[in-house]
Structure 1
Amino acid sequence: MNQNKNVLTGYGSLLKAIRSTMSICAKQIFDGGFLFVAGGYMIQAVQFVMLIFIWKSLKQGEELMTYTLMATILHQELNIISPATASLWEGSVIGRFLRPIPVEVSFFAETVGKWWIPHFLFFGLPLWLLAPAFGISPLPASAMHGLLALISLILAASLGFALDLIFASFAMHLKNGCFAALAIREAIFALLSGEMIPFSLFPKAVGRLFSLMPLGSIAHGPLTIYTGLANNPLWVLGLQLFWNLVLWTVAILFFRKSKERMISFGG
């Protein structure tokens, strides 16, 4: 009985620590000033409007408009950049090893609290509600597509965290080149994820190839399911599950090995 109680208490403490970390990070979002946060949202809004104008000028279908809408709303969940890499440069990564939660979980909790929650409340949800004013349907192709898209989004976020951990591990080997890893990642993600440019606009063979790659499962997967553009949603989910198993195995092994070479920089 005592052992079971300790196990349950341990899980309770972990969940409480995760919630506390999320709450603290969410409250810190405006520490840099409202204009700092609003500026980032404004850039995303301008990019969204420009893409919509382009798709309309090209006479693309309603599904593509909804695709771009949801890609903008879910940007933080699809393009996951945790504090893992930046903390190496700042030297703050050492403090995370002293927290009562695993360092990987700490990165997850900080990302959700600092980026996901504020982005959804102050940008994503208002944009979703205003979408009809742009002549765009914010609803999924059907209730079933919406449910499958939610499952796909969870798998995509999990895959995004695995890739983020891999890039953070890669940055540990670059020493002073931490931000070079971020620049490389941003360039690769913009091209291969399908978040900004749907694969349906690529040559068929190229789009098909990109959709089979890990990054394609992050943005292209849930967005095509949500809009009904996926020919076989179950195949997309199966591919996402496969890449999760592969990349999380690589991420955990690589991160554990890279910690042995870790050096903290700066403050």
Structure 2
Amino acid sequence: MMFITSHKHLKTIIMVATRSLDDKGWVLVGGSVLRLLRVVFLLSLWRMLLPESGEVSGMTRNAVLTYTLIAEVFAGQISVRTGLDGALWRGDIANRFLRPVGIYGQFIAEMFGSGLPNLILFSLPLFCLAPLLGVDPLPESAFAGVLFLCSLVLGIAIGAAFDFIFASFMVLLEQHVYALTQIRDAVSVLLSGAIIPLALMPWGIGDFLTFLPFASLASAPLRIYTGTGDPLFLMGLQAFWAVVLWPVAHLLWNANRERLVSHGG
């Protein structure tokens, strides 16, 4: 039974990835150009602001450059979007409950599928071309690279839980899909450390933000990758938030299930 379910999830991933290439080819090209310009701008900015030698808040300039590049390489995995908001907006959420796959598995599989084209067509080339941008893309050590992947999986789990929690609140509060999405995006970018490493924030704000679940999405895996954080502490914090947030997400989802279906048409 588990094999059959896993096979269905795999087929969903492949189907969504293929559909993304068919329907959004030019969108991928345009998005890739914008992402490349963004990472080049950020790398240039850090080179101007940070000294070539020495450390700032425990991070060297090279570590910050690697942090920034890897944040862009894995942007799709750091900024988790299951597509639940789109299903609500299109009105097909009710049909999801009729499919022979669990509702969580459906959206998580679609999330992986939609991110696969960008990972292959943009992230992999960016990683390989990083030396041309003057950035060492490799992790602090091979072991740090393995721990980074484990931390990234934990971050994805937390991000998926956030998606279901936000969707439940959206329907509970009867808010517009994209209004709440914009709020979430703004908060996540600021508090997760996806753009600005938390260690570089003034007045020790980053030390406080480290303990919030948003930091587990981006800051934790990226600090592990660059060797600027304690892996045991960071992954322990991620595991804690995953254990806390998923029961909350499940509870809110079940409590608002009928309203979600009604909202979907």
**TM-score in terms of structure 2 length:** 0.93
Q: Residue 259 of structure 2 is aligned with which of 235, 249, 261?
A: 261
Q: Secondary structure at the match of 2:17?
A: helix
Q: Hey, what does 1:250 align to over in structure 2?
A: 248
CA 1:85–1:174: 2 relative to 1, 3 Å: farther
Q: Hey, what does 2:55 align to over in structure 1?
A: none
Asked if structure 1 preserves the Cα contact closer than 8 Å seen for 2:93 and 2:264, the reply is: no
Q: Hey, what does 1:7 align to over in structure 2?
A: none
Q: Which amino acid aligns with 2:244?
A: V
Q: Hey, what does 2:146 align to over in structure 1?
A: 147
| TM superposition shift of 1:83 | 1.1
| TM superposition shift of 1:176 | 5.5
Distance in 1 between residues matched to 2:7 and 2:23, nearest whole Å: 27
| TM superposition shift of 1:173 | 2.0
Deviation digits for residues 78-133 of structure 1, max 9, x if unmatched? 10111111111111111211111111110000010112x11110000000000011
Distance in 1 between residues matched to 2:216 and 2:80, nearest whole Å: 13
Q: Hey, what does 2:58 align to over in structure 1?
A: none
Q: Hey, what does 1:170 align to over in structure 2?
A: 169
Q: Which amino acid aligns with 1:111?
A: M
Q: What does 1:39-188 correspond to in 2, within 5 Å?
A: 39-59=30-50, 61-115=61-115, 117-175=116-174, 177-188=176-187
Unaligned runs of 5+ in 2: 52-60
Q: Hey, what does 1:194 align to over in structure 2?
A: 193
Deviation digits for residues 205-229 of structure 1, max 9, x if unmatched? 2010111100001100000000011
| TM superposition shift of 1:258 | 1.1
Distance in 1 between residues matched to 2:31 and 2:210, nearest whole Å: 28
Distance in 2 between residues matched to 1:35 and 1:235, nearest whole Å: 42
| TM superposition shift of 1:204 | 4.8
Distance in 1 between residues matched to 2:175 and 2:86, nearest whole Å: 11
Distance in 1 between residues matched to 2:246 and 2:66, nearest whole Å: 30
Distance in 1 between residues matched to 2:99 and 2:253, nearest whole Å: 18
Q: Residue 35 of structure 1 is aligned with which of 14, 26, 34?
A: 26
Q: Hey, what does 2:57 align to over in structure 1?
A: none
| TM superposition shift of 1:265 | 4.3
Q: Residue 16 of structure 1 is aligned with which of 7, 27, 32?
A: 7
Q: Hey, what does 1:25 align to over in structure 2?
A: 16
Q: Which amino acid aligns with 2:73?
A: I
Distance in 1 between residues matched to 2:216 and 2:9, nearest whole Å: 27
Deviating above 3 A after TM superposition, structure 1's stretches of 4 or more consecutive aligned residues are none
Q: Which amino acid aligns with 1:24?
A: M
CA root-mean-square deviation: 1.3
| TM superposition shift of 1:249 | 1.2
Instruction: Give aligned pairs, total.
Output: 255
Asked if structure 2 preserves the Cα contact closer than 8 Å seen for 1:63 and 1:227, the reply is: yes
The answer to whether 1:225 aligns with 2:224 is: yes
Distance in 1 between residues matched to 2:74 and 2:37, nearest whole Å: 16
CA 1:178–1:29: 2 relative to 1, 3 Å: same
Q: Hey, what does 2:54 align to over in structure 1?
A: none
**TM-score in terms of structure 1 length:** 0.92
Between 91-100 and 189-198, the greater mean CA deviation after superposition: 91-100
Unaligned runs of 5+ in 1: 1-9
Distance in 2 between residues matched to 1:32 and 1:99, nearest whole Å: 23
Distance in 1 between residues matched to 2:251 and 2:24, nearest whole Å: 39
Deviation digits for residues 57-98 of structure 1, max 9, x if unmatched? 113510000000110011010101111111111111112111
